[in-house]
Amino acid sequence: MVRRLMERLRGLRKVAPRLLRPANVKADRAKISVAQLGHRFSNKVVALQDVNLNVRSGEFVCLLGPSGCGKSTLLYALAGHVTPTGGTVAIDGKAIQGPGPDRLLMFQEAALFPWLTVRGNITFALGARGVPRSERRERADIFIQRVRLEGFADSLPHELSGGMKMRASLARALAVDPTVLLMDEPFGALDAQTRVHMQEMLQAIWLRSGKTVVFVTHDVQEALMLGTRVVLMAPRPGRVVEDLEIHLPMPRSLEDPSLDAMARDIRHRLRAGEVSPLEAQHLEPVPRRTQTPSSLPRPSVMTGR
């Protein structure tokens, strides 16, 4: 049994490189184009440096990396909430000058109006987008059903669980029909079981809608389950170290052993990318210490009576 397990693990190690391949998306074929993007905060901290990223229409791209690697800063630049100090960000060839109706940003918090019901939150957003009053209720109910909140349309946010609030927020985002959906760790505050349910729901909705999604996470398994691509980022300063396409059919399950093999590969790549190019130049190889047979430690011997 142990032998079969070891053979399976060796097989999975060979699978990971085949399922993770470098992405090569040209700017002229991209829905979203980020070129030589840099951003320095007023306190002189460099959040992003020379970031280049092209996203095709309909892709689900996950930005993955540790805290401080600039994932959220890049997402906010795409949303138009951050004006980068260098480089360009464009959608459909047009430079992003600020927030726009073609993009919607979802935060880690549901951000529902507490005095409005689930349906009221959605119809309010539809009204702000200019949807005729006669169409708002029907459209809201369609997306309430799509996120499986039937029976809670008239509930206030304080009457909902954390997962239900996020479902309501997702229904609101989808109802206004943005071209690009930007998600900043939307499931980060949920418990493990609810998080899996939300991941499965989002995957099903994306497969149905074909939206262009840019999704920020620090969870390797989440990125591999949801994404068509995973962009690995590293801090000091924030930069892209690898851009990989995930060649695994959808829908996916967290129980798929291929995800475990890829996750180990991704974690290895992230650790390798944590050293900045500047630091790498100053690293000296550690000399190998040779030991003579007489200097080697003697193995311990266990004796029994």
| Residue indicated by tokens 């993955």 | 64
pLDDT at site 42: 84
Look at strands 60-64 and 212-217 and give their pairing.
parallel
Contact 244, 232 (CB under 8 A): yes
DSSP string, 25-77: --GGG-SEEEEEEEEE-TTS-EEEEEEEEEE-TT-EEEEE--TTSSHHHHHHH
Query: Bigger pLDDT: 271 or 138?
Result: 138
Beta partners for residue 60, in sequence order: 213
pTM of the model: 0.84
Look at strands 180-184 and 103-106 and give their pairing.
parallel
Residues 6+ apart with CB under 8 A from 133: 127
Tell me how many degrees the CA angle 117-79-128 measures, rounded to the nearest 5: 35
**What is the domain partition of the chain in residue ranges?**
12-99+180-190+212-274, 103-177
- Tell me the mean pLDDT in the region 34-46: 90
Encoded amino acid at 173, one letter: A
CB atoms within 10 A of CB 70: 25
Look at strands 239-246 and 180-184 and give their pairing.
unpaired
Check whether 138 has a pLDDT greater than 50: yes
**Burial degree of 208 (CB within 10 A; 0-12, 13-18, 19+):** exposed
Q: What is the enclosing helix (H) or strand (E) of 88? A: strand 86-91
Residues 6+ apart with CB under 8 A from 288: none
Can you list the positions of beta strands (E) in 156-279? 180-184, 212-217, 229-234, 239-246
DSSP state of 160: S
Query: Bigger pLDDT: 293 or 170?
Result: 170
Question: pLDDT tens-digit profile of 66-84?
Answer: 888 999 999 999 999 999 9
pLDDT at site 28: 85
- Tell me the mean pLDDT in the region 260-268: 92
- CATH no. for 12-99+180-190+212-274: 3.40.50.300
118's tokens: 């689930």
Q: Is the peptide bond before 287 cis (omega within 30 degrees of 0)?
A: no
82's tokens: 């951050």
- Tell which residue, 122, 169, 124, 165, has the closest CA to residue 142: 122
d(CA 221, CA 229): 13
247's tokens: 């060649």
Question: pLDDT tens-digit profile of 202-242?
Answer: 999 999 999 999 999 999 999 999 999 999 999 878 999 99
pLDDT at site 9: 46
Check whether 89 has a pLDDT greater than 90: yes
- Least confident window among 9-13, 28-32, 109-113: 9-13
Check whether 5 has a pLDDT greater than 60: no
Look at strands 20-22 and 239-246 and give their pairing.
antiparallel
